[in-house]
């Protein structure tokens, strides 16, 4: 099993180029199930493991899929399987995104129920409740969700709380429903706007993106389309934190600064000098990093997907920072590993109190999920000596060649087996 070895102490300098957003590519790939015509996705992160898993799932269902550089061509004209099996769903929860498209276009879907995962219980009750409102019949047996419908019909559904993939699943489902659907209390993440933009190119009639209320006028069929995936805002934030934590100065290219306002605000409070330009963010670390409190909240606030990386940064700030995780009940698994690197962090309920600045000491650490592994790599960049991050398959689920990109910025990092 691959590991990443990082030797700390080198400030990052230079340029990093951001890949297409994983969390936008996955629902856009699922959207391709809704037409027999080809869907071409440009700027898709080909080397991200979750994207490869979704490609396998679509192929399993009967989609023809092929890559040309970073463009993924998907054609769902031979769908003859309607089940997302346990083995695929257990490797990637986002597999559940095929549920809405399969029920709306084919009237049936069988999806293994995702279990809990390293960051929380993560039920899919809102996906299922919304589909029932759209007229699907849902039953759960032996760990599988069975969904059937003659044709989904438009409805008004209010999400009891904000869910990203739940919003995406219901938008996808409602697009081919009969009549109008109004979804309320929708998530505002930019990845949702990206899927809507693709669906519109496919002929869908959707308004209200980037607002909590989305209107969808159902249509009989959709056609093929070509679409360029937005830049990955979490990868962008991870590199910005890399520049800040190492005392460096870097320029992050091919990103969208407008998607990171909550993060840029925090990094500025920490004393970083940030310059935003079209498609680019430059960051220069201060001599002394200042502490700051953070609460994770749905977009446009500070994202839970950068909480772990930000915690690594706050171990290097002079003073106490309180990091409040509001989205997932168990997303502090990285804390134990940071403690092994001599960080001083105390957890009270959903708040981690980080006492900085502590010199970190390289150690063997274990990645427990995607963002936790990024946190440990960032911590390794400032730790004294070698840090070996085990189970890096987690990091490969969401970052393209992270060690190569960091090496280009001057980090002493390599993948070992
Ligand atoms: N929730 C429910 N019931 C539901 C759906 C969600 O109780 O039916 C709860 C979840 O358990 C969680 C909260 O609602 O406590 C928010 O979860 P959400 O549904 O928004 O998360 P998700 O759609 O499963 C996406 C991203 C995650 C990211 C979260 C939050 C994708 C493929 N995944 O997950 O990304 O953390 O939104 O922003 O878009 C990652 O990339 O590392 C990652 C975990």
| Residue having the nearest C-alpha atom to atom 31 of ligand 1 | 23
Between the CA of 68 and the centroid of ligand 1 the distance, in Å, is 30
pLDDT tens-digit readout, 58-81: 999 999 999 999 999 999 999 999
Which superfamily, per CATH, for 3-19+231-416?
A: Enolpyruvate transferase domain (3.65.10.10)
In which residue are the tokens 């953070």 written? Answer: 294
Instruction: Give residue limits of the domains in the chain.
Output: 3-19+231-416, 22-228
How many Å apart are CA 284 and CA 261, to the nearest integer? 17
Of the candidates 99, 101, 100, the one whose C-alpha atom is nearest the C-alpha of residue 74 is 101
Q: Ramachandran region of residue 374, left (φ > 0), alpha (ψ -120 to 50) or beta?
A: alpha
Q: What is the rounded average pLDDT for all residues in the chain?
A: 97
DSSP labels for 234-271?
A: HHHHHHHHHHHHTT-EEEEES--GGGGHHHHHHHHHTT
What is the β-pairing status of strands 180-184 and 214-217?
Answer: antiparallel
Residue 47, SS3 per DSSP: coil
Contact 413, 388 (CB under 8 A): no
pLDDT tens-digit readout, 197-220: 999 999 999 999 999 999 999 999
pLDDT tens-digit readout, 316-330: 999 999 999 999 988
| Residue having the nearest C-alpha atom to atom 24 of ligand 1 | 165
Could you give the angle at the alpha carbon of 83 between the alpha carbons of 42 and 96, nearest 5°? 55
Contact 229, 61 (CB under 8 A): no
Between the CA of 417 and the centroid of ligand 1 the distance, in Å, is 32
For the chain, the straight-line distance linking the first and the last C-alpha, in angstroms and rounded, comes to: 6
Domains 3-19+231-416 and 22-228 share a fold: yes
- Count of other CB atoms within 10 angstroms of residue 77: 12
Mutate to test the pocket of ligand 1, among 23, 145, 402 (most ligand atoms within 8 A of CB): 23
* Ligand 1 atom, smallest distance to 161 CA: 14
pLDDT tens-digit readout, 153-196: 999 999 999 999 999 999 999 999 999 999 999 999 999 999 99
Tokens representing 387 are 């840090």
Based on the number of CB atoms within 10 Å of its own CB, is 379 exposed (0-12), middle (13-18) or buried (19 or more)? buried
Domain 22-228, CATH number (from 3.55.50.30, 3.65.10.10, 3.10.310.30, 3.40.50.360)? 3.65.10.10
* Ligand 1 atom, smallest distance to 369 CA: 42
Mutate to test the pocket of ligand 1, among 166, 371, 398 (most ligand atoms within 8 A of CB): 166
Residues at CB less than 6 angstroms from ligand 1: 23, 26, 94, 120-127, 161, 163-166, 304-305, 327-328, 370-371, 398
How many Å apart are CA 13 and CA 268, to the nearest integer? 19
Q: What share of the chain is helix, strand, coil (3-state, %, to 5)?
A: 35, 30, 35
Between the CA of 96 and the centroid of ligand 1 the distance, in Å, is 12
Residue 1's pLDDT is 81
Mutate to test the pocket of ligand 1, among 163, 237, 331, 373 (most ligand atoms within 8 A of CB): 163
Between the CA of 164 and the centroid of ligand 1 the distance, in Å, is 6
- Kindly tell me if the per-residue pLDDT of 101 is higher than 80: yes
Between the CA of 327 and the centroid of ligand 1 the distance, in Å, is 8
Between the CA of 166 and the centroid of ligand 1 the distance, in Å, is 8
| Residue having the nearest C-alpha atom to atom 37 of ligand 1 | 164
Tokens representing 413 are 């990092």
How many Å apart are CA 59 and CA 387, to the nearest integer? 38
Give the contacts of 407 (CB within 8 A, at least 6 positions apart). Answer: 413, 414
Contact 131, 155 (CB under 8 A): no
| Partner residues linked to 7 by β-bridges | 386, 412
| Residue having the nearest C-alpha atom to atom 29 of ligand 1 | 164
pLDDT tens-digit readout, 357-391: 999 999 999 989 999 999 999 999 999 999 999 99
Based on the number of CB atoms within 10 Å of its own CB, is 220 exposed (0-12), middle (13-18) or buried (19 or more)? exposed
Determine the average pLDDT of the residues in 336-354.
96
In which residue are the tokens 């989305």 written? Answer: 214
| Residue having the nearest C-alpha atom to atom 5 of ligand 1 | 124
Tokens representing 51 are 């994207």
Catalytic residues: 117
- Kindly tell me if the per-residue pLDDT of 291 is higher than 80: yes
What is the β-pairing status of strands 144-148 and 108-112?
Answer: antiparallel
């Amino acid at each position: 099993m691959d590991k990443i070895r990082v030797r700390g102490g080198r400030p990052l300098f230079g340029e990093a180029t951001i890949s297409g957003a994983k969390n936008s590519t996955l629902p856009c790939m699922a959207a391709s199930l809704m037409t027999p015509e080809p869907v071409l996705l440009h700027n898709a992160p080909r080397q991200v493991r979750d994207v490869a898993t979704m490609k396998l799932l679509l192929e399993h269902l009967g989609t023809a899929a092929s890559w040309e550089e970073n463009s993924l061509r998907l054609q769902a004209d031979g769908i003859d399987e309607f089940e997302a099996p346990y083995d695929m769903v257990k490797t990637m929860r986002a597999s559940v995104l095929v549920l809405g498209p399969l029920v709306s276009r084919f009237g049936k879907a069988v999806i293994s129920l995702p279990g809990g995962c390293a960051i929380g219980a993560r039920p899919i009750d809102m996906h299922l409740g919304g589909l029932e409102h759209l007229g699907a019949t849902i039953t759960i047996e032996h760990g599988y969700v069975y969904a059937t419908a003659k044709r989904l019909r438009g409805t008004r559904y209010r999400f009891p709380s904000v869910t990203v993939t739940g919003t995406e699943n219901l938008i996808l489902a409602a697009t081919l429903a009969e009549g109008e659907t109004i979804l309320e209390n929708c998530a505002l993440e930019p990845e949702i706007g990206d899927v809507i933009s693709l669906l519109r190119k496919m002929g869908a009639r959707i308004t209200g993106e980037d607002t909590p209320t989305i209107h969808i006028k159902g249509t009989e069929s959709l056609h093929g389309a070509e679409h360029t995936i937005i830049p990955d805002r979490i990868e962008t934030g991870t590199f910005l934190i890399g520049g800040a934590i190492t005392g460096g100065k870097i320029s992050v290219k091919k990103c969208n600064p407008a998607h990171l306002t909550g993060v840029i605000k925090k990094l500025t409070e920490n004393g970083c000098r940030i310059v935003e330009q079209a498609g680019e963010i430059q960051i220069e670390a201060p001599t002394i990093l200042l502490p700051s409190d953070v609460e994770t909240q749905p977009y446009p606030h500070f994202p839970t997907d950068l909480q772990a990386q930000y915690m690594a940064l706050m171990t290097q700030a002079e003073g106490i920072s309180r990091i409040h995780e509001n989205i997932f009940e168990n997303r502090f698994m990285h804390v134990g590993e940071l403690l092994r690197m001599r960080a001083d962090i105390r957890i009270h309920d959903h708040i981690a109190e980080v006492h900085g600045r502590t010199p970190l000491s390289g150690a063997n650490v274990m990645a427990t999920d995607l963002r936790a592994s990024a946190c440990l790599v960032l911590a390794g960049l400032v730790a004294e000596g070698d840090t070996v991050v085990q189970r890096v398959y987690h990091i490969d689920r969401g970052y393209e060649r992270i060690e190569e990109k960091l090496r280009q910025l001057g980090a002493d990092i390599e993948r070992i087996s």
